[in-house]
A and B are shown apart, each in its own frame.
Chain A
Amino acid sequence: KNQVEQSPQSLIILEGKNCTLQCNYTVSPFSNLRWYKQDTGRGPVSLTIMTFSENTKSNGRYTATLDADTKQSSLHITASQLSDSASYICVVYYGGSQGNLIFGKGTKLSVKP
């Protein structure tokens, strides 16, 4: 069964600290993996898209890694800010040009002052 699982479900950190969010997937054939940020009351916004051949991709203080062998991805947030408080959603695209997207349930991050 094609699945995307994220952990933890929720996380609280202090402003200025780093954190890492996890995403495990079981899909085939894999095409790419996406991380989105969703602020409360807003739609998701794309952070990164990584293909099979990419191990790391950064977007400012956000760094995503991908291990296609173990089917794991992580999103690392450096020097967190209050504005990082949001849900982070892992999405996997599989099946080629006529494929499908599977959305994870998200990790809710709260950054406290």
Chain B
Amino acid sequence: NAGVTQTPKFQVLKTGQSMTLQCAQDMNHNSMYWYRQDPGMGLRLIYYSASEGTTDKGEVPNGYNVSRLNKREFSLRLESAAPSQTSVYFCASSQRLGRWGSNQPQHFGDGTRLSIL
């Protein structure tokens, strides 16, 4: 049981390049999320998907787009990368419907470390 799988694990981009971060979960969860983690800050929500076919903005959505491809997969796209988007990106999923799954825990992937030069 892999849980939440993120690809790639590391990536270096030049300013202005685009890329897509992939996330897949095998726990049959309805809700999926994208976060970024920066030094000295708590995790911040970029986008989330409460269920297949729906997506919503989180706290820091600017510069990003998402696609909920099916129940298993939720991708994050940077259309024109900027140095301020250098960060560690985490994908998470949870069992219950709704934004946070009430009392259900979120399950996280191991992150994508993205550097933008």
Contacts and interface: CB of A to CB of B under 8 A. Distances in A.
Given A43-B90, A49-B103, A51-B103, A104 B42 contact: yes
A103 B43 contact: yes
Nearest to B102: A97
B108 A31 contact: no
Interface string B76-107: 00000000000000101000001110110111
A100 B99 contact: yes
A30 to B, nearest CB: 13
B44 to A, nearest CB: 8
Interface in A32-54: 32, 34, 41-46, 49, 51
Contact of B108 (A32, A43, A93): A43
B110 A41 contact: yes
A39 B99 CA distance: 26
A103 B110 contact: no
Interface in A54-113: 89, 93, 97-106
Contacts of A49: 103, 105
A42 B100 contact: no
Nearest to B98: A97
A22 to B, nearest CB: 15
Given A49-B103, A97-B102, A101-B100, A44 B108 contact: yes
The 6 closest A-B pairs by CB, nearest first: A43-B108, A103-B42, A46-B105, A103-B43, A43-B110, A44-B108
Given A31-B102, A103-B44, 19 more contacts: A4-B42, A41-B110, A41-B111, A42-B110, A42-B111, A43-B110, A44-B90, A44-B108, A46-B107, A89-B42, A89-B43, A98-B99, A99-B100, A100-B99, A101-B100, A102-B42, A103-B42, A103-B43, A106-B42
Interface of B: 4, 40-45, 90, 92, 98-100, 102-103, 105-111
7 contacts: A31-B102, A32-B102, A42-B111, A43-B90, A43-B111, A103-B43, A106-B42
